[in-house]
Structure 1
């Protein structure tokens, strides 16, 4: 795939023109045909005015109808030929950025909030599409208009070309003023992303509008932040607001100047109609072209934000360098034990996970088990290992159960049967009356049609169907009762696709620990208090035994 995200904005525009050259040639031909047809309208209008003056009863209007049809066809075609490449570019940029996001560890984009990522993937991409589609169209529009209309004006009356000077001057001043606001536009887009992030986090966390509105302190803060965002956008728009009147002023001065020439040379009212027609034909490209300054300013801000994210995704973080320094990449075939050096609070600890076994991390709540699992996932991803990680709060897409399980993988009937068997094992089959109904069931936005426990179990099914070498699960069975947990683990321990795989999980349950092979007992200030095979650590003289003593009772 082409690496468009490494280009500068100018390079992006150049490569876009080269890649879709036939489309743009076709578009320019359609624009030329449009303006060539339109250039006849002022003369036809003059002819019509002369005919009316002579008092003719019957006027042949077929020419006007034919010209109207031609304008509609070529004008519409020119826009389609410009807009389609812009849509393709928008799609390609999004796919490239998503691939970079997926290939990078979360450490690299942690300073970009959900709202900022949404702003870049949605709003900034839309802004770039507007630049490629709308702005390039209007640049072509004005170029072709000048090529077609100026010779016609000169042929009609050479002095009329001077009447365009006020329009051109007003456009230049407008463009200069607007271009100075590009940094302010970027700042406004940054603040808009933060406001979006606040909304996303609040509604996702509170779940209900009632709770959202009951937090008065938050509402006050949100108002203040929104006001700062609106103020920034207002400041960015001041230059545009002040300079916009320059455009109709320039057009008005051009009309007055042309009227003066018609009067001085005694060309007659019909000549004024011709001149006014030319001004009208220049009006559309000039008015739209004036907004190109706004589009370029905003697109510049969008591209800078996008490039900032791309830079962060390509830049190796301090933590990644430390992880790889402490955990150099080894050949998978040589590893009978998965050896990792992990930061645990203020210290570094060594964790050795037996290959093809179930290893469990235990310890008191808040002592760092989740952080360790996150580090393990980051390190193994940097080592290009084949892993699947399920957090305590996994994400589900607003799609069917089946699509949430396979996530773009090839779906065969055999794999569907396998997925359904796992759904039954995890007690999710009661959600629908049949296999087909269950797999096609919509889970809702972020899985809101499922309970937290159901969503977690669905995520584990998704993990199992990924068929990877190493599974990392954060407290996977906390949402099921002991009887169902026993059934699940018993089946999974004998499930053929999982027999030769390594499973690393955390748990607070003795039942989960007993079903595992190896255990690490962790404590915040001491690191690894004990480690070993389960049968040894559950002997009365062991500290792990003391930790679980109450559960044994």
Structure 2
């Protein structure tokens, strides 16, 4: 908790909040003393003027207490909300710079929980700290001292009451704290299942697995609910028990105090004040019990957030690293081997090829052969285990990371569009892209026709995830977005899979005809032979190993794996 709070909380705001809390507590502690004076010196003697004087004094202190409480809540709210704002910003900044390895370790659903629910738990405890955690001990000590001043004999009641309260608190903590800690993990599970259900709703409906998913969600939902019912049932039992103890204490004090008054060993006003101080002491214990229950849950959240913030990225950038000359692009995989975290076998082994400016490299292979893994090594989403990925003859580890990624325009397998307009999505790759440049990219990507058909043109609204476009349209828009970026290397990860053969052919022809892109390195991952056949070089992957390198004709004449792929797609005697 302290590690999280350091540097994210204004010390002046915290100091101000504590100061106003002290003023509020002192005012509250002084009010019973004034009540005692009114009863002893005003009511008992019939001195109305004295009652008015002390009454006005009480009103002033009550007003001071209210104003101090308002100021305390205002500052405490600002501190806690600012902490939450900074925490969420820091988590997002950290996560956005994670390599794919770190993302895989933590998981998207858990990151969402940590950014929302866990941060809220910490905010609540900070608010509680600046209110209850400071108020409770001050009030406990102050009320105990003032109660003793009123009558030392009556304070013997607390020797019975306080141990009972301590036992109740210990039992509550023993049962409730582990359940509170478990709630965070169970929240993760709900987010995971719910998120999968939302993103995969079409697949669920297509395979009529609605009941299965409902049952699956009901399982984690009931698990969370049962845990929450248990923990809040324990909490619900605590308050009646505390109330019972407080009521019993009142009865005991009143009975004993009545005897003391009858024996003229105590004034009536002092008994009234003592009862008020007794309630303040017991309320302090109640506040402490709430703190002891909720702090461990926030501590568990703090540990989870610290795990995100302290996670060391495997992708490290050197500030003095070299820049890329995009006018002379060059890509070289030098005996590259890569293994996923905790994987037994490498995903890629001894991959070696060299592509120069103006050349197109195609990568083909069966499912799971390592095609996407290979291209993810180019922008350093992962770092190689051995060998080197070189751009312009320089190992990508020695290239400035922002500059490297600025010079790699990548279209992933899944076309991702953001809510907004077509123009905003296109300018995501280049903030300064003009309408002419956008239309040019749309032309190359074969996307001009369906954008022009809409009266809004480039202001055509894109719904979340691009759901108002077909799969092929989303792919073409994603390709156009990449083409707007002035990069050294253009990477298309199976980005033509949703296109018909004619559109595929037209798009590849447009790429070759463009005067800028034709001078860059183009890498195309494809499943269809027709997509890769006209590439300058074709890499054939099989089970993570490069089993072929050459042109279409060379591989067709000498590579068995490539011939099998061709035969599986093209009937004998047909041409591409």
TM range (shorter): 0.7 to 0.9
Find 1:118's aligned residue among 104, 112, 121: 112
Aligned counterpart in structure 2 of residue 258 of structure 1, from 244, 253, 256: 253
What's the CA shift for 1:175? 4.6
2:454 and 2:279 mapped to 1: Cα distance? 64
Local SS of the residue matching 1:258:
helix
- Which residue of 1 is the match for residue 190 of structure 2? 195
Deviates more, 1:71-80 or 1:25-34: 71-80
1:301 aligns with 300
* Matching residue of 1:288: 287
User: What displacement does 1:204 show?
Assistant: 1.5
Distance in 2 between the 1:406 and 1:186 partners? Answer: 44
Taking structure 1 as reference, are residues 353 and 288 closer, same or farther at Cα in structure 2, changes over 3 Å only?
farther
**Structure 1: distance between partners of 2:3 and 2:504:** 57
The question of whether the paired residues in 2 share the 8 Å contact of 1:30 and 1:78 is answered with yes
Alpha-carbon contact 2:18-2:130 (below 8 Å) kept = no
- Tell me, in whole angstroms, the C-alpha distance in 2 between the residues paired with 1:422 and 1:537: 33
Residue 371 of structure 2, aligned match among 369, 372, 378 = 369
The residue number in structure 1 matching 2:491 is 472
Q: Distance in 1 between matches of 2:81 and 2:207?
A: 37
Q: Give the counterpart of 1:88 among 82, 90, 112.
A: 82
CA contact (8 A) 2:157 2:253 kept: yes
State how far apart, in whole Å, the 1-side matches of 2:209 and 2:435 are.
45
1:321-340 aligned at under 5 Å gives the runs 336-340=330-334
Deviation of 1:434 (Å):
3.6
Q: Which residue of 2 aligns with 1:25?
A: 15
1:437 is aligned to 2:459: yes
Partner of 1:358: 360
Uncovered stretches (5+) of structure 2, i.e. residues with no partner: 339-344, 385-396
What is the SS of the residue equivalent to 2:80?
A: helix
Deviation at 1:75, TM superposition (A): 1.1
Residue of 510, 515, 521 corresponding to 1:502 = 521
How many residue pairs were aligned? Answer: 526
Q: Which has the higher helix share?
A: 1
**Which residue of structure 2 aligns with residue 186 of structure 1?**
181
Aligned to 2:391: none
Give the SS at the match of 1:351.
strand
Would you say the 8 A contact 1:28–1:144 is kept in 2? Answer: no
**How far 1:205 sits from its partner (Å)?**
0.6
1:156-197 C-alpha deviation (Å, 9 max, x unpaired): 445565555566545544553454454443334223312321
Q: Is the 8 A contact 1:397 1:443 kept in 2?
A: yes
**CA deviation after TM superposition for structure 1 residue 98, in Å:** 2.9
Q: Distance in 2 between matches of 1:76 and 1:505?
A: 63
**Correspondence for 1:390 among 384, 388, 411:** 411
Paired with 1:545 and 1:212, the residues of 2 have a C-alpha distance of: 32
SS in 1 for 2:125: helix
Equivalent position SS for 2:540 = strand
State TM-score, norm by structure 1.
Answer: 0.77
What residue in structure 2 maps to residue 134 of structure 1?
128
Q: 1:196 to 1:536 in 2, by over 3 A?
A: same
- Does residue 540 of structure 2 align to residue 513 of structure 1? no
For residues 258-298 of structure 1, the C-alpha deviation after alignment (integer angstroms, 9 at most, x for no partner) is 32453233145544433343345456554333211121121
Q: CA deviation at 1:26?
A: 0.6
Task: Give a deviation string over 1:372-404, Cα, whole Å, max 9, x none.
Answer: 444656566673442454332244445555555
Provide the rounded CA distance (Å) in 2 between the counterparts of 1:241 and 1:154.
32
1:384-435, Cα deviation, whole Å (9 max, x unpaired): 442454332244445555555556x8834x4566446535653462485345
Q: Take 2:160 and 2:507, find their aligned partners in 1: how far apart are those partners?
A: 80
Question: In the alignment, is residue 532 of structure 1 matched against residue 550 of structure 2?
Answer: yes
Residues 359, 504 of structure 1: 8 Å contact kept: yes
Give 1:359 deviation, angstroms: 1.4
- What residue number does 1:522 align with? 541
CA contact (8 A) 2:533 2:551 kept: no
- TM-score, normalising length from structure 2? 0.74
Question: What is the root-mean-square deviation in Å for CA atoms of aligned residues?
Answer: 4.4
Measured in 1, the distance between the counterparts of 2:18 and 2:56 equals 27
Provide Cα deviations, 1:464-519, integer angstroms capped at 9, x if missing partner.
45555444322112233445445544444455664554332212345532564322
Q: Equivalent of 1:38, from 28, 33, 55?
A: 28
